[in-house]
A and B are shown apart, each in its own frame.
Chain A
């Protein structure tokens, strides 16, 4: 467990809390999964958050008030997430809660945010985090939902003229909520799911499932999971001599997938945020400035890729800063600001339009399709 806060006790008393009047600092809590299975997500989110904190404070804070972000690691565990959320809200009296990286952890925190009436912005995929909106009054999220990703995939399939797919998902939260959306949207996009398979993250071989999908006359394989499962799927598919297109999820939008699957990765297609390849984004894209400046700042500081997850971390904190800059400096006001005043707000993930009907505020357009070509992720031109 590692929480990066200096002089915590002191700050707790000084309190940049919900109270009004003379404020010494704005205290924000962020819970990301820096370790544990979700660490590939949490790490860039954590880094991005720190990057912004330093940047803002070096520029003299927000309207002269320094920003203080207390970062906490939930180790990809719901229980830890709950503990940290309670600590940040009650002990640190933060204004806003950011995180967490995974859907399960975010849902766990959601309960507390609702009970304690603290605005929260999640960096996880599941639609349940912000839906139904009536039950998510205090909760927002920036990543595209599984629904968006699935919509984007289905749009692609329609373009390709593929209508029968076999799905293979990781039997964890990410995979199963992907499947949920694929099922829900299938009719709308006239897609038929002819085989539904799953695997456990550590399974060594998925030939049986793939043989079944192939036998079900699917025209494409859609695999929803994070590494290493999809790499095994890609490899097994090619080893079995199955010649179907493989479509992945945004969960493998990283180089490691290609490293693992090697040649079998070639031709795999996924939906992804644009941050996967900033250099390939065209200059007239509205997000161009946001993406390239964040990408540069991040890579300069950390000498690693921010990936899409970095963009969630970035947008989360930037939304809060937007609220603070506009004078929303207590919990209620920040919530109001997020719900009512974020329209056409340009982030690195997409263009946000929050409202009392939509606490995610994105459309499937914020995602693009990418393909592996010569061992690299490339933007798939329409």
Chain B
């Protein structure tokens, strides 16, 4: 059902995307790319949640890695130390980050802007410190090891194609969930908060409730990613859940475009791609080392913000729209132009 003038989910897009996911391992068979794609999926889940938080609740989080880490450590402790089944620990790995977000969100509701960013940064650092110091539970800085693999119907989900499908299965679920939220009345309400919080509250939108819900949801997404990451790896360590990781997630969202769910996904893939391209260049030209990767990575961040301030996806989507509407009417072209 097409409602003109209203943002709606393009189910066609989701379908095409899902198909692409499905056939990817048949086209690209190298294990290297498959691992890359699996990691990309894990990060995409975090980025989509963070994108909701940034683009729709208008909040920045400099500590998303904390929730990711809590998800990963929760399931690691429950399965490796306490012997639970990973499937039973999955809800707990979502619950804990969500709960923390709830408590944090509750106390942080008085903060805004950079002060809120500071609070999330603090959260990230506190959680990281606890992961390092609470050695009795987390086994400290050298990391938690011996995390069991996932089993499904007696079949072990190994790294490689099985894990790739598992991860992307969850990505698609998260994607659909998020698209639904964004294109519902709640999403609309959230977008309105972005433009004028005061006006939306006088429309009866309970802004702090929605912000809180999104914060919790994004934390749970990160927790899910943590769960996936833990059971893929034999060991995890606090080093994966640092400020740098939080920044990386942020960069993914901004690159892709924080105003859209697809943007976060695209941004994630893009960042992975940069890594791969530099890796390949490195094989051709030995002087391109990983140091160079950072230089190029920094460069790309700079260029995107300067030339595509809204991020990659919305800009490209607009070009696309413009192309499509070109023939339909001159009027809409003018409208588009006026937007610029």
- A and B, direct touch (CB closer than 8 Å): yes
Q: Is B332 on the interface with A (CB-CB < 8 A)? A: no
* CB within 8 Å for A91 and B30 given contacts A35-B289, A82-B233, A177-B142: yes
Residue on B nearest A1 in the bound complex, by CB? B279
Contacts of B239 in A (CB 8 A): 77-78, 104, 172-173
Q: Is A115 an interface residue (CB 8 A)?
A: yes
Q: Are A107 and B240 also in contact (CB < 8 A) when A2-B289, A86-B160 are?
A: no
Residues from 269 to 319 in B contacting A, C-beta threshold 8 Å = 275, 278-279, 282-283, 286, 288-291, 293
**18 extra A-B contacts, CB within 8 A, seeds A35-B291, A83-B35, A171-B132:** A1-B275, A1-B293, A2-B288, A2-B290, A3-B283, A4-B286, A35-B289, A73-B290, A77-B239, A78-B236, A78-B240, A83-B36, A103-B142, A135-B146, A173-B141, A175-B141, A176-B140, A176-B142
Picked from B236, B240, B282, the residue with its CB within 8 Å of the CB of A3 is B282
Task: Specify which of A86, A110, A128, A172 is in contact with B35 (CB 8 Å cutoff).
Answer: A86
Task: List residues of chain A with CB under 8 Å of any chain B CB.
Answer: 1-5, 8, 34-36, 73, 75, 77-79, 82-84, 86-87, 89-91, 103-104, 107-108, 110-112, 114-115, 126, 128, 135, 171-177, 180
Given contacts A86-B160, A107-B145, contact A78 B233 (CB under 8 A): yes
Which of A87, A104, A172 contacts B30, CB < 8 Å?
A: A87
A108 → B minimal CB distance (Å): 6
Say yes or no: is B235 at the interface (Cβ < 8 Å to chain A).
yes
A89 contacts across to B, CB distance below 8 A: 31
Q: Which 4 pairs show the lowest CB-CB distances between chains A and B?
A: A111-B234, A90-B31, A87-B32, A1-B279
Interface hits, B120-150 → A, CB 8 Å: 132-133, 135, 140-143, 145-147, 149
Q: Provide the bound-state CA to CA distance between A77 and B158, in Å.
A: 21
- Across the interface, name the chain B residue whose C-beta is closest to A128: B145
Q: For the complex, what is the distance from the CA of A176 to the CA of B145, rounded to whole Å? A: 15
In the assembled complex, how far is the CB of residue A111 from the closest CB belonging to chain B, in whole angstroms? 2
Give the residues in chain B near A111, CB-CB below 8 Å. Answer: 145, 147, 233-235
Measured in the bound complex, the distance between the Cα atoms of B132 and A73 in whole Å is 26
Task: Report the Cα distance A4→B234, complex, angstroms.
Answer: 27
Closest to A84 in B: B32
Some 16 contacts from A to B, beta carbons below 8 A apart, are: A2-B290, A8-B283, A79-B240, A82-B39, A82-B233, A86-B34, A87-B32, A90-B32, A91-B30, A110-B145, A111-B145, A115-B149, A171-B132, A171-B141, A173-B141, A177-B140
Q: Which residue of A lies closest to B293 (CB)?
A: A1
Contact status A112-B145, CB under 8 Å: no
Asked if A110 and B141 sit within 8 Å, CB to CB, the answer is no
Compute how far the CA of A224 lies from the CA of B318 in the bound complex, rounded to whole angstroms.
Answer: 56
A91 to B239, CA, bound (A): 27
Q: Is B89 an interface residue (CB 8 A)?
A: no
Which residues of B are found within 8 Å of A86, using beta-carbon distances?
Answer: 31-32, 34-35, 159-160
- The answer to whether A173 touches B237 (Cβ under 8 A) is yes
Shortest Cβ distance from A172 into B: residue:
B141
Q: How far is the CA of A174 from the CA of B290 in the complex (A)?
A: 23
Whether B293 lies near A114 (C-beta < 8 A) is: no
Assuming A3-B283, A83-B32, A104-B239, is B234 touching A90 (CB within 8 A)?
no
With the chains together, A79 CA to B291 CA distance in Å? 17
Q: Which residue of B lies closest to A112 (CB)?
A: B159
Tell me if B234 and A104 are in contact (CB < 8 A).
Answer: no
* A82 & B293 in contact (Cβ 8 Å cutoff): no
CB distance from A55 to the nearest CB of B (A): 21
